[in-house]
Amino acid sequence: MADPTIQAGPGEVPSIAEEDAAFYHQSAVNAAWTGARLALGALTFIFGAFAFSYFYLRSVDSSGRWEGSGYHPPSMVTGTVIMLLVLASAGVHYGVLQRIKAGRKRAWQRGGAITLGLGLAAVGLQITQLATLPFAPGSSGYSSVFTGFYPVFLTSQLAAGVWLESLLARSRFIPEMSFVEQPPTHAEVYRVQRFQSSLSAFSTVWSYLALMSLLFWLLFYVF
Amino acid sequence: MAVEVQPERAEPVSASTKPYFRRMGVHTGLAGAVAGYFLGHWLGNFLSSGYLQNPLSDSNDVPIVLGYALATIGWLLGLGVFNDLFGTMLGRPFPDREAADGAEAGLGKYFRFTLNHKTVGIQYLFGMIGYFLTGGLFAMAIRTELLSPSYHIMGPNQYLMVVGEHGTMMMMMMSSVVLGPFGQYFGPIMIGSKRVAFPRLEALGFWLTPAAFVILLSGILFGGFPTGWTGYEPLATEAKQGMDSFFFAFGLMAVSMTLAGFNMICTVINYRAPGMRWGRLPMFVWSMFSVSFLQVLSAPVLLGACYMALTDRTFQTAFFTNQLGGSSYLYEDLFWFFGHPEVYILALPGFGVISEIVSVFCRKPLFGYRVAAAGMLGVGLLSFFVWQHHLFDSGINPDMRPVFMLTTELISIPTGFIYLVGMGTFWKARIRFSIPMLFALAFYFNFLIGGISGVFLSDVPADVTEHGSFFVMAHFHYTIMGGLIFAFMGGIYYWLPKMLGIKLNETLGKVHFWTMFIFFNSTFLPLFALGLMGMPRRVFEYANNLQTLNDWVSISSYCLGVSMLIFLFNVVMSTLFWRQREAGNPYRARSLEWQVPTPVPPANFERIPVILASPYEYGDPDAPPVADLNPPPGVVSSAYVGASRGEA
């Protein structure tokens, strides 16, 4: 994509309005990148609070009740399926992201819908699992961290899902050709670039959530 | 290919002409909140009927917590916070209504979800003054109870409730007292930007604060909470339903802090005008930047802790119940992982405000600019490694104490850097003793006492001896009220003429300053002595021999309250009745916010400015102007393209 700051033709001086628009457009694109990384920082600290709780309570083992007597683990199959759904969702999106970078909007739209579907399936399955756990939430340290963590995680997933849905909706109004070659107006160029920056930011957050899903699956089901 | 292009919104949205009550605002927000509360309460009762009640507190908190949750959602829905989000879910781009919101005439825009950062700054300003005065009223009640060692106007639980409300109101709400009003209003202007990165998140950050305020106060209806501002476990789990208000409100403020910090960081990194290098960034912006990182990284941990406490109280998890596999120390760790950075979230903005004032009224460049900026970042970084000193007396492994004693002492080094920058600026300066400068000088005086007593308390033997006494209370009031609130007041006198175009009355301002300074010290200095004599915190009875000092403190606190009334009177009279206009640059300050007209135009600058020099080059007759506010066409794009290639 051409440098958006260069509005006027060679040798021409851009107007003030063009300069303003280009400057703040580029700032917004950069802010999406910064914001996505910063969001990962904030999410890491909130998930970190749960990871800290996990290790703290496990090592302290208050009253011998990290797992407690008569402990029944949550379903390994369900947990693994949920984690695989999240990973598959992130994997699909990573793949179709390359398609839209190559200008294939419709391929991305189809892949995005699959991504959203897989993500929502994971959320739905997680809710089902939480509603049918074989232990009471406060029966042990493990059960507390498990029942406390997953609602926060699936809320994050749902929020990211809303983001993806809005990207899918926005993409309907951008001509496919705009992803292939530079649109005729600066407004269209900016719109496409804003969309791409938002999509890239979403992809970062979605992949991060998949990584968290894997890490907490390891904590809750494997170790 | 089917054309599916929506008409591009190249033109900004124009201001609405509908009357206030026909648009979404506080009135619809309140309606949503009330409806949401009752719906949530009903839903909670429906879901948890027959539900085993919390065995430790013998109460069922599900209806209250769900009521708070749906009330908050109703409040935000009623305000129209989600309107643009719903629009974008249908494929519409976010409307560009920042400038239109700022240009709107009348007071109605201050009672709506508006996106202009200056409007949000003023909303924060008056919100924070209101929260502060409410917290102050609770302080008056505490001091009234402590007039006598044995004659009581409150019961012990009522006293604890008042102490908890005061402490939480001040520590929780005041975390945004500078970043909210001054950071949101002046941060973008000081970096030469016309806008912020995420205006909706910024505005949402503000509108969560009234919800947190009301929810915190609503705890009184349920008997309050006995834990003070820390919400310690296991007392919190055993407490009655008023405890829910504490955790829910603090959780909301954690979200608010995270959003405000998030927006500030993205704005400072990405929206600086051409030429605004990191080395030219005003010190106030450096302080906002450092504090924002603390907020974004520490407030989510607080949110997690509040959430866990609420699930313990509602869904019967056992994060903090020792007998069921949890641990009350877990809460203490999570809380203080936020709680100690919180101290610097409160302290650093004060240094930022004061650094601006000192340089202007000394007519000297800020001494050791780079040292101060490094000090702020250093304080921010180190503040994540000291939290265990709050647990010296709570069962921490004794072998760990020296480590955290050392880290706590280390943090005094970058703090000292920032402090000495002020001293260096004062050196051989021709100081103008205007009202903001008086507050700045008082800030340094108070913070010295608060800081030195803090270093003293960081030593394990001193901490163990004085833990839970009035000595500790005197220390943190000297740093927070003596530091932050004095800086906030200085900031109000300094920046209000720019924010409102109205100057506060100088005579009343000086009376306010001197009464506040004298009676602040008269109130809090004796508390060191009281603490050393054995006066414990959070206890409404005390030994008879401590009455004289306690009475002195109480009477001084009333006088301190009167000084706040003088301030309030000054604000009300100056802004509503006397209305002495202040335009231009009365202090001949160099920083960018004073170079734009008053009132500040909706878009801040006519054109994107090109920054030419540091804002602190006072006393140098050859210093270039700080910025070219009207660069000819082509300059910004060339500077910007140059900057993007690393040439600037």
Residue at B227: amino acid letter: T
Query: Would you give the DSSP letter of residue B469?
Result: B
Pick from B467, B111, B418, B134: nearest CA to B291? B418
A155 vs B: CB within 8 A: no
Neighbours of B430 (CB within 10 A): 9
Q: How much is the pLDDT for A3? A: 43
Question: What is residue B605's three-state secondary structure?
Answer: coil
- Is A27 within 8 Å of B270 when comparing Cβ atoms? yes
A20 vs B: CB within 8 A: yes
Write the pLDDT tens digit of every residue in B558-601: 999 999 999 999 999 999 999 999 888 999 999 999 999 998 99
**Closest alpha carbon within chain B to A194:** B93
Write the pLDDT tens digit of every residue in B22-40: 889 999 999 999 999 999 9
- Is A61 within 8 Å of B266 when comparing Cβ atoms? no
Which H helix or E strand runs over B611?
Answer: strand B610-611
Domains of chain B: 107-578 (1.20.210.10)
Q: Write the secondary structure of B235-295 as one string of H (helix), E (strand) and C (coil).
A: HHHHCCCHHHHHHHHHHHHHHHHHHHHHHHHHHHHHCCCCCCCHHHCCHHHHHHHHHHHHH
Which candidate from A23, A66, A148 shows the least CB-CB separation from B325?
A66
On chain B, the residues whose CB falls within 8 A of the CB of A67 are: 325
Q: How much is the pLDDT for B4? A: 33
Q: Are A145 and A183 in contact (CB under 8 A)?
A: no
Q: How much is the pLDDT for B619? A: 86
On chain A, the residues whose CB falls within 8 A of the CB of B311 are: 137, 144, 147-148
Which candidate from B8, B197, B301 shows the least CB-CB separation from A46?
B301
Domain boundaries, chain A: 16-222
**Closest alpha carbon within chain B to A166:** B89
A12 vs B: CB within 8 A: no
* CA dist., res. A162 & res. A166, Å (int): 6
Query: Would you give the DSSP letter of residue B228?
Result: T
- Is B326 within 8 Å of A191 when comparing Cβ atoms? no
Which candidate from B297, B323, B327 shows the least CB-CB separation from A45?
B297
**Closest alpha carbon within chain A to B199:** A28
Question: What is residue B59's three-state secondary structure?
Answer: strand
On chain B, the residues whose CB falls within 8 A of the CB of A68 are: 325
On chain A, the residues whose CB falls within 8 A of the CB of B88 are: 166, 169-170
A149 vs B: CB within 8 A: no
A129: Cβ–Cβ under 8 A, 6 or more apart, which residues? Answer: A74, A75, A78, A79, A82, A150
* Best mutation target, B6, B57, B266, B302, to test chain A (most A CBs within 10 A): B266
Pick from B195, B202, B15, B181: nearest CA to B101? B15
Which candidate from A5, A63, A141 shows the least CB-CB separation from B640?
A5
Query: Would you give the DSSP letter of residue B573?
Result: I
Instruction: Compute the nearest-CA separation of B441 from chain A (Å).
Output: 36
Instruction: Compute the nearest-CA separation of A129 from chain B (Å).
Output: 16
**Closest alpha carbon within chain A to B88:** A166
- Is A49 within 8 Å of B334 when comparing Cβ atoms? yes
- Is A175 within 8 Å of B91 when comparing Cβ atoms? no
**Closest alpha carbon within chain B to A34:** B266
* CA dist., res. B137 & res. B154, Å (int): 15
Which ranges in A72-104 belong to alpha helices (H)?
Answer: 76-101
Instruction: Compute the nearest-CA separation of B530 from chain A (Å).
Output: 38
Instruction: Compute the nearest-CA separation of A37 from chain B (Å).
Output: 10
Percent of chain B at pLDDT > 70 equals: 95
- Is A57 within 8 Å of B327 when comparing Cβ atoms? yes
On chain B, the residues whose CB falls within 8 A of the CB of A194 are: 93
Instruction: Compute the nearest-CA separation of A82 from chain B (Å).
Output: 23
Report residue A78 as tokens: 């369900």
Instruction: Compute the nearest-CA separation of A19 from chain B (Å).
Output: 6
On chain A, the residues whose CB falls within 8 A of the CB of B608 are: 19-20, 23
Pick from B243, B240, B224: nearest CA to B165? B224
- Is B297 within 8 Å of A14 when comparing Cβ atoms? no
Q: How much is the pLDDT for B54? A: 61
On chain B, the residues whose CB falls within 8 A of the CB of A23 are: 274, 608, 636-637, 640
Which candidate from A35, A141, A169 shows the least CB-CB separation from B325?
A141
Domain A16-222, CATH: 1.20.120.80
Neighbours of B436 (CB within 10 A): 28
* CA dist., res. B572 & res. B569, Å (int): 5
- Is A42 within 8 Å of B324 when comparing Cβ atoms? no
Q: Given the structure tokens 């999106």, which residue do they identify?
A: A93
* Best mutation target, B637, B640, B645, B647, to test chain A (most A CBs within 10 A): B637
A81 vs B: CB within 8 A: no
Report residue A174 as tokens: 């951008």
**Residue B68: is it exposed, middle or buried by C-beta count within 10 angstroms (0-12/13-18/19+)?**
buried
B171: Cβ–Cβ under 8 A, 6 or more apart, which residues? Answer: B229, B342, B346, B480
**Closest alpha carbon within chain B to A106:** B1
Backbone angles phi, psi at B557, to 5 degrees: -65, -35
Neighbours of B180 (CB within 10 A): 28
Query: Would you give the DSSP letter of residue B209?
Result: H
ipTM score above 0.90: yes
- Is A49 within 8 Å of B85 when comparing Cβ atoms? no
Size of interface A-B (CB pairs under 8 A): 213
Report residue A158 as tokens: 């749902």
On chain A, the residues whose CB falls within 8 A of the CB of B328 are: none
**Closest alpha carbon within chain A to B303:** A46
Which candidate from B298, B327, B633 shows the least CB-CB separation from A19?
B633
Q: How much is the pLDDT for B647? A: 40
Transcribe B504-517 into DSSP letters. Answer: PPHHHHHHHHHHHH
**Closest alpha carbon within chain B to A50:** B304
Q: How much is the pLDDT for A201? A: 96
Cα dihedral across residues A35, A37, A42, A47: positive or negative: positive
* CA dist., res. B404 & res. B418, Å (int): 22
* CA dist., res. B614 & res. B623, Å (int): 9
Residue at B280: amino acid letter: R
Pick from B485, B494, B491: nearest CA to B516? B485
Instruction: Compute the nearest-CA separation of A169 from chain B (Å).
Output: 4
* CA dist., res. B504 & res. B497, Å (int): 8
Q: How much is the pLDDT for B59? A: 74
What residues in chain B have per-residue pLDDT under 50? 1-11, 642-648
What residues in chain A have per-residue pLDDT under 70? 1-13
**Closest alpha carbon within chain B to A27:** B270
Instruction: Compute the nearest-CA separation of A160 from chain B (Å).
Output: 12
Query: Model's pTM, two decimal places?
Result: 0.94
Measured CA distances, A206 to A119, B43, B317 (Å): 10, 32, 28
**Residue B149: is it exposed, middle or buried by C-beta count within 10 angstroms (0-12/13-18/19+)?**
middle
Work out the widest C-alpha separation in chain B, in whole angstroms.
90
Which H helix or E strand runs over B628?
Answer: strand B627-628
Task: Give me the long-range contacts of B11-16 (CB less than 8 A, separation at least 24).
Answer: B12/B96, B12/B97, B12/B98, B12/B99, B12/B100, B13/B95, B13/B96, B13/B97, B13/B100, B14/B100, B15/B100, B15/B101, B15/B103, B15/B104, B16/B104
